[in-house]
Amino acid sequence: MKTLSAAFALTGAAALVLIGATPAHAAGNAIDPGDSLYSISCDSNWNLWQLFGVDSTTAFSTKIGDGSGSTPDSPACAGQPAYDFTTGSSYYIQWYYDGDVNVASLAKIDTGTGASTTINEFVWVNGEFPTAINVDAIAIGPNSTAFALAEGVLYSLNLANADLTPVGSSLVDTYAFAYDQKTGQYYAIDDSRDIFTVDVTDGSFDYIDTVAIPGEDGIYSLQFDEAGTFWVQADEDSEGGAGLYSFTLATVGAPVYSGSFTDDPYYTEALLIVPGAALAATGTDLGAIVPLAAGAGALALVGMALLIVRRRRAA
């Protein structure tokens, strides 16, 4: 099974201070107009379940709320979020230790306030003996139909109580999983950066291509904007960070890099996109809630110790 472990420390005496607002030009793609991009922290320098609004062109991030209001006292990490197009609710995975037991729970997050609500631990109700399942990724399609990948099995997911029902054998070592509203397809990317479509009727999958993101570390989160563009988090070899990339199936050989996730630099494995059509329908003014990089002032990047929480396969 997958476990959580403290993995990396950033060190350094020098500080790089960037004065002014934003870079002279944006490095990355812009998300589909009206859509909004978020991340949830996997970094002990921030409160548990800290939400950020993310500028898609630079990966510069702005805090929303204060998360749980406490820093983790044991390894904890947010995993693959998913947006419910039917209800307008946003969900994600909470990984953490309870004593010496690795726990995976379903949670909701309010993108206006940053407040999280833990729903329940993921459980397969298997007769008299409910079995806790260490879920790797979740995705939500039409009509609040939800699914979870966990250690080579696809499950249907009850969003009300986190109960799981096996659908069939499926992908292993896969944490990036999402529904593309434009094509009506479920896609997943494994830790070798191979892209698959997933048939949620039986768990079967078909290889599509491999995305050419530099380095050897994995991709741990995937989202689609309303134009059908893939947006992914990818681990970065240098200093244990995480970067934001975007691409289409026509450009998998040349994905566009937006930048490392930065307020102070932080690590994340959880991307969330809320579609603009949903915001328009609810009358939400996201611009008033999430001031992004365009209004940023001075940014100091200082060498620091970070506890990075990652999933690694147990021997």
CATH assignment of the domain containing 19: 2.120.10
Residues with Cβ within 8 Å of residue 123, at least 6 apart in sequence? 130, 131, 132, 133, 162, 163, 164
Residue 291 CA: distances (Å) to CA of 54, 120, 268? 9, 32, 20
Nearest-CA neighbor of 139 among 173, 211, 91, 206? 91
CB distance 168 to 188 below 8 Å: no
Across 194-212, average pLDDT:
97
pLDDT at 240: 67
Q: Exposed (0-12), middle (13-18) or buried (19+): which is 157, by Cβ within 10 Å?
A: buried
pLDDT at 120: 97
pLDDT at 94 over 60: yes
Please state, in angstroms and rounded to a whole number, the distance separating the CA atoms of residues 285 and 296: 19
pLDDT in tens, 170-181: 999 999 999 999
Please state, in angstroms and rounded to a whole number, the distance separating the CA atoms of residues 138 and 104: 12
Structural domain of residue 262, as residue ranges?
2-313
Q: Would you place residue 3 in the very low, low, confident or very high pLDDT band (cuts 50, 70, 90)?
A: very low
Residues with Cβ within 8 Å of residue 33, at least 6 apart in sequence? 276
Average pLDDT, the chain: 82
Please state, in angstroms and rounded to a whole number, the distance separating the CA atoms of residues 179 and 201: 14
Across 102-109, average pLDDT:
96
pLDDT at 289 over 70: no
Per mean pLDDT, which range of 102-106, 249-253, 309-313 is the poorest?
309-313
Q: Would you place residue 127 in the very low, low, confident or very high pLDDT band (cuts 50, 70, 90)?
A: confident
CB distance 79 to 270 below 8 Å: yes
Q: Would you place residue 75 in the very low, low, confident or very high pLDDT band (cuts 50, 70, 90)?
A: confident
Q: Would you place residue 239 in the very low, low, confident or very high pLDDT band (cuts 50, 70, 90)?
A: low
Q: How many CB atoms lie within 10 A of CB 162?
A: 24
Predicted TM-score (pTM) of this structure? 0.83
The total of structural domains in the chain comes to 1
Nearest-CA neighbor of 222 among 109, 136, 308, 144? 136
CB distance 198 to 170 below 8 Å: yes
